Amino acid sequence: MSVDFRVRDFAYPMRILRLRRSFGKSQWLPPQELRAYQEERLRNIIHQAYHHVPYYRRLFDQRRLKPSDVQTVEDLHKLPLLSREKVRANYAELCADNARQFRPAAAHTSGTTGEPLRFLVDKPSNILEFVYYWRHWSWAGYRLGDCFADVRYDYFVRRSETTDNVWAFQPHLRRLLLNSMRISPDRIGGYAKVLRRYRPRFIRARPVSLYCLALFLRERRLDDITFQAVFTGGETVLPQHREMIETTFGCMVLDSYGHMERCVAVSQCPEGGYHINSEYGILELADERRRNDGAVIGRAVGTSLHKMAMPFLRYEVDDLIEVCSNEKPCPCGRMLPLVRTVHGRKQDVILTPDGRRIPSLFNVFYYVRGIRFFQLVQEEVERLMVRIVKGTDFTPQSEESMKLWLGRFIGDGMSIELEYISERDLALDDTGRPIPVVSRVPLW
């Protein structure tokens, strides 16, 4: 859900339209034809990786492999997995020597399980991302140019003068921006007013933000806000959240799963099926475990099929994905493969004294230098503990910057306490990864 299209992302209309037409047809192709498309794209990526990416040229040579040895999905097992640690350690060598021709731009993850990860995105993958969303939204009837609402925080916190604003409208994108950090019982009337004014047909947000919006509208009996569809992503949609959102807004929730590195994308259709977008990237499962009911669960591993400036081969996404080997075709008729469940995207929420529920507060650390790991712990509504593992470039200015940004997100009325710790003191989840937010406060 962190993708944010700008005017310059529309600068390649013919490339966008060609890929959109291709995606419009490929979703109905039989499995063998989808596999043929994947492997054609894979051969292009392998050629680019071997001839233009120093890291992969060295890797292939060490294993006495040539591009002709990795031509199919099954051939990928000849290559080792690519971890985040390897990306950090080999950043320069993973950049293609011809990257400039693909108009690269720097990007980074949120760093929910450690320090943010830097990498490159480029023109081909930007076109891919735009078309992927366009196709998914079209499943619910969206047409390019329809007005939609976008519940997010980043537009508002970048400028101190807009931090407290509830909304902004971008007429060139037909997008109504709603501030996810200011949704509260006291302000819900302002959200209802602007939604009535612009009447967006669709809305997208993280599930918790939409749940709060729906809950507070219902509590105020503001029952005239409806949409044609709701699009969610970024975290697991809990059943109670889905029910509240769909009942309040009178439409279905279409969920999606992806990540900034652009290797794997899964999207939900109106029939409820979670489809792997085979044309987007190749999904493998590592450390597979088979359950008694025939389901297989494993760690997600993705291979990018369109990113040329910094291709990732067998990248360890690490979220847990559950599939079923004998899954029936989806009633929607699309032949894109199905997954049962995507695990590992549920994040705790911070409750503020004025009644706001703030998901993904870890995004504060986008703006702070020098933090190796962090953990937000809330045991009381009025108090937030920030546990920090310092990086080598942490300074007193880092601490001040962190306090400033936290204040913009959570507002007044909550004390912020800092605790500097070592990595071994971090609370971990079942997979051994640091938990970004630990909340022991009842939310509802």
Helices (H), 113-257: 123-138, 154-157, 188-198, 207-219, 239-249
Identify the pLDDT of residue 218: 93
Q: Which residues pair with 386 in a beta bridge?
A: 376, 418
Of the candidates 415, 405, 437, the residue with the CA atom closest to the CA atom of residue 157: 405
First to last CA, the chain: 24
pLDDT of residue 24: 97
User: What does the alpha-carbon distance between residue 26 and residue 24 come to, in Å, rounded to a whole number?
Assistant: 6
pLDDT at 365: 77
Q: What is the DSSP letter of 99?
A: G
More confident residue, 326 or 272: 272
| pLDDT beyond 60 at 63 | yes
Instruction: State yes or no: pLDDT of 110 exceeds 70.
Output: no
pLDDT in tens, 67-87: 999 999 999 999 999 999 999
Pair type for strands 105-108 and 118-121: antiparallel
Pick the CATH number of 349-439 from 3.40.718.10, 3.40.50.1220, 3.30.300.30, 1.20.140.10: 3.30.300.30
Q: Model confidence at 104, in pLDDT bands (50, 70, 90)?
A: very high
Q: Tell me the residue type at 98.
A: N
Question: What is the band of 429 on the pLDDT scale with cuts at 50, 70, 90?
Answer: low
pLDDT > 70 fraction of the chain, expressed in percent and rounded: 93
**Sheet with 383-390: strands ordered across:** 415-420, 383-390, 371-380, 437-439
What pLDDT shows up at residue 230?
98
What is the residue whose two structure tokens read 């997995």?
81
> Tell me: the pLDDT tens digits for 304-322?
999 999 999 999 987 889 8
What's the pLDDT tens digit per position in 225-255?
999 999 999 888 888 889 999 999 999 999 9
Distances (CA, A) of 125 to 65, 97, 266: 27, 17, 16
* Average pLDDT over every residue of 47-68: 98
Amino acid symbol at 411:
G
Average per-residue pLDDT in the chain? Answer: 90
Taking the CA atoms of 11, 15, 20 and 23 in sequence, report the sign of the dihedral they define: negative
Q: What is the pLDDT of residue 355?
A: 84
* C-alpha count within 13 angstroms, C-beta hemisphere, residue 164: 4
Identify the CA nearest to 183 among candidates 238, 220, 228: 220
Is the Cα dihedral 434, 117, 123, 68 positive or negative?
negative
Residue with more model confidence, 12 or 58: 58
Q: Give percent of the chain above pLDDT 90.
A: 62
The answer to whether residue 202 scores a pLDDT higher than 60 is: yes
C-alpha neighbours within 13 Å on the C-beta side of residue 400: 3
Q: What's the CA gap between 400 and 407, in Å, rounded?
A: 11
Which residues does 435 contact at the CB level (< 8 Å), separation at least 6? 348, 375, 426, 427, 428, 429
- Per domain, the residue ranges of the chain are 7-136+257-342, 141-251, 349-439
Over residues 414-441, the mean pLDDT reads 82
CATH class for the domain made up of 7-136+257-342: alpha beta
Give just the sign of the alpha carbon dihedral 235, 241, 246, 248.
Answer: negative
Average pLDDT of the residues in 125-149:
96
- Asked whether the domain spanning 349-439 has the same topology as the one spanning 7-136+257-342, the reply is no
Distance from C-alpha of 209 to C-alpha of 184, rounded to nearest angstrom: 10
Domain 141-251 CATH assignment equals 3.90.1690? no
> Per-residue pLDDT tens for 176-188?
999 998 898 899 9
Place of tokens 């009325």: 413
pTM over 0.85: no
Range of weakest confidence among 101-115, 139-153, 410-424: 101-115
Residue 51: its pLDDT value, please?
98
1 pLDDT above the threshold of 50: no
Any idea which of 30-34, 349-353, 383-387 has the lowest mean pLDDT?
349-353
What confidence tens digit (pLDDT) does each residue in 394-416 have? Answer: 999 999 998 888 888 888 889 99
Report whether pLDDT(112) > 60. Answer: no
pLDDT band at 38 (very low <50, low <70, confident <90, very high): very high
Q: Give, as one character, the DSSP assignment of residue 367.
A: G
Which residue intervals of 27-146 are DSSP H helices?
Answer: 31-52, 54-62, 84-89, 91-94, 123-138
**Phi first, then psi: what are they for 222, rounded to 5°?**
-95, 85
> How many Cα neighbours within 13 Å face the side chain of 435?
16
Average pLDDT over residues 136-160: 92
Buried-state track 282-307, b at ≥16 Cβ within 10 A, e below 16: bbbbeeeeeeeeebebbbbbbbbbbb
Average pLDDT estimate for 287-303: 86
pLDDT score of 2: 47
- Scored b (16 or more CB within 10 A) or e, 15-36 reads ebeebbeebeebbebeeeebee
Q: Which of 263-267, 290-294, 302-306, 434-438 has the lowest mean pLDDT?
A: 290-294
Mean pLDDT, range 135-155, rounded to an integer = 95
In the predicted model, what is the mean pLDDT of residues 268-282? Answer: 97
- The one-letter code for the residue type at 72 is T
d(CA 197, CA 268): 29
> Distance between CA atoms of 307 and 102, rounded to whole angstroms?
9
